[in-house]
Amino acid sequence: MYSLKLTVVIEKDEDGYYVASVLELPGCHTQARDLNELMKRVKEAAELYLETEGIKEKMEFVGVQFVEVPLKWPFKTHPQKHSLRSETEFSLKWV
């Protein structure tokens, strides 16, 4: 039996769910409350994707890069996303 090693990116949304995306399979995403359940669902989603879509062109994961961009206070965001009252409080929490 053959196997395929896939790259999974995991994020946590504002409701506390873990959200996974399989980089090599465009549109292959799933979510769960805990990481163990998430990985079970990722495997299932990838298997279903491959059954229906097949293997498309090979995409190679190269790595992750970070970029810093300046933020001007006050920055635009949903009011419930943070409860910061000043630029100083933001710096202390995020730097």
Q: Please confirm whether the linkage preceding 74 is cis (ω < 30° from 0).
A: yes
Q: What is the pLDDT of residues 72-87, one digit of tens each?
A: 777 666 555 555 555 5
Q: What is the pLDDT of residues 33-73, one digit of tens each?
A: 999 999 999 999 999 999 999 887 777 788 888 888 887 77
Please report the pLDDT score of residue 73 as a whole number: 72
Helix or strand (DSSP H, E) at 42: helix 35-53
Which carries the bigger pLDDT value, residue 78 or residue 5?
Answer: 5
Q: What is the pLDDT of residues 6-24, one digit of tens each?
A: 999 999 999 999 999 999 9
